[in-house]
Amino acid sequence: MRTDQIREGRLAGERSHDIEHFLASMDADRWIARADLLVDMAHLLGLRRQGIIEDAPACALMAALLDFYDHGLPPEAFSERFEDVHAGKEACLLERLGEEVGGRLHIGRSRNDEVATCIRIRLKEEVLGLIHSLTDLRRTLLDLAAAHRESVMPGFTHLQHAQPTTLAHHLLGYEQSFSRDTARLREAYVRLDVSPLGSAAFASTGYPLDREYTARLLGFSRPAPNSMDAVASRDFVIEVLADAATCMTTVSRLCEDLVLWSTSFFGFVRLDDAYCSSSSIMPQKKNPDVAEIMRAKAGTVAGSLTAAITITKALPMSYNRDLQEVTPHLWHGLEAARQSVPLLSGMIATAVFDTERMAAEAGRGFSTATDLADALVRDYGLPFRTAHRIVGRAVRHGSLDLETLEAAAREAAGISVLDLGLTQEKIETVLDPRHAVATRRIIGGPASETVASQIDVQRETLAGDTAWLEEREMALSRAFETLILEARRFTE
């Protein structure tokens, strides 16, 4: 097998294995090998359409590319003798067809626009895949919320009992966040959906390429408008990684809830055994390992984002080889997110929530004290700060019964709640967690009817996201099918 043909003109001497390994990007390039063949076919069709290459070499090249597409690139294409899969694949073409034919594919093209196009193609697929997983997760959360509108549980601030809520309200909070993650990825997809092909090294080319034609063949909405920006910028990588990191931060928070809730201290949930592991020494243990690994994966994605920003932050225009180091972080970060979101959906769908235990905890820690203060304001005309002080003083004394509240009112405010008309029956009604939840009927609250409305709205949003996703997946699939069909017709 020949050595790297790109070095043969300007450079002399052999590289050591260490240098070859240091410069090679083959591990990351395996992600884009299929996309690279699609780019080759589109470029070749464009060259022939514009009369830049003749039929005979074009047909021979297309036949070889289709063979690679159908049966996979030869292993030699991934040899570290070549800096990247693009050079390795070209070497395979030269070996098979000779330089007279194989050496013509790179007319009007640089590896710079080639790799930038490949990354965008592959990343578009990854973004759609992540959106697909997010829509499944959101559907799971909405279905569970619909089933638990009446499941009262404690809400927490500072990890302390705060106010009663419902499991539905809690789950909808996460669904809202994942809905925004979906929206961010949709917006990123629009900016990602431009084709760098035809930008060449950075200053485009003197060949009369039809960039709109090749963009359409590859499923892009348009060609990138500036050739320098097209090859030198990786802000689209940073944006997608930022969106993935944001999503995984929420995944980690939900996993943290599940880890805590599954402990004997909480006892709110039993995770399916498939998502847990046991101890090598303690036979009684059931550890929420999948949730714990997901928390760690959030750090992996955040690290990939940080690496991408740091690598690109001081690069002068135009292309610099530093960008090669960005790509592995992109795939590593996205792989962590793509693995995690479907597993989270499955873990939640199979979890068993102990709603009786949740209900028993809903009123602990004086969690309905705010409702009692509100009742003193609403029903007896006290200023809220006065009511707040009275109830707080009663909590300090350890009880919210009528006798303690009366003492607290005289001590803290110099008034009598008995004289105001407060009764023990009124106190017990107000302090009931279910009553506290039912009164919170404003938009965004946990009352059953309010939650039902929230679910309806979010299902409509989810339906819109699902329709958008199906449309983009179908458009991309049709573009690639059409490209392959055109390539095969060309060789007939």
Positions annotated as catalytic residues are 158, 279
Nearest residue to 322 via CA among 237, 204, 197, 223: 237
- By the 10 Å C-beta count (0-12 exposed, 13-18 middle, 19+ buried), 377 is classed as middle
Token pair of 371 as six digits:
């409702």
Number of other residues whose CB lies within 10 A of the CB of residue 139: 17
CA dihedral 143, 144, 147, 151 (to 10 degrees): -150
Q: CA–CA separation, 195 vs 203, rounded Å?
A: 15
DSSP 287: B
Measured in degrees and rounded to the nearest 5, phi and psi for residue 191 equal -75, -25
Tally Cβ neighbours within 10 Å of residue 477: 12
**Beta-carbon-side half-sphere exposure of residue 432 (alpha carbons within 13 Å):** 10
> 22, 36 in Cβ contact below 8 A?
no
Rounded to 10 degrees, what is the CA torsion of 438, 442, 445, 449? 60
Helices and strands, number each (H, E), in the chain: 21, 6
